[in-house]
Structures are given as structure tokens and as C-alpha cells.
Amino acid sequence: MAKQKGFFSLVTGIVLGAAASYLSNEKNREKTKKVILSTATKVKKAEAEYKKNPTAFKKKAIAQAKKKITASTKKPSKKS
């Protein structure tokens, strides 16, 4: 158990170090801020849609998930 905790701490430290390095650049902070704001807008929109009709929202989410899964599991065609 102690080894797993140590490994988790190591991975967490690496991720936080990489994030700090990435966010030390002004351009990267602005890009990150835009992505966060865009995601927050999408979440609010999805929340409003869910509150309006939960059943339809769930069906739509399942259909989209199935579509993504199907697209990601298709084998790539050989174009050469």
C-alpha cells in the first residue's frame, strides 16, 4: 500500500510540475483561460438542457457516446 501511495505522489508531482511549467508562459495562460471559459459555457448550456428535459438529455448523451465509441473503434483504412 505504501508503494502505491508513493507512486501516486510521484505522478501528482510530475503533473503539477508540468502544469506549472506550461502555465508560466503568458500565452499558455490565456489559452487555458479561454478553454476553461468555453467549457464552463458548455456545462451551463448542458445543465439548462438537462433541467428542461432530463429524459431527452440522457437519450441524446447516450446516442452521442455510442457514436463516438463506434467512430473510435473503427479500423483505419489503408490509403496508400
Provide the H-helix boundaries in the chain.
2-23, 26-52, 54-73
Residues with Cβ < 8 Å from 29, sequence gap 6 or more?
A: 23
What is the pLDDT confidence band of residue 1, given thresholds at 50, 70 and 90?
very low
Which residue did the predictor score with more confidence, 35 or 75? 35
For 53-64, write each residue's pLDDT tens digit: 999 999 999 999
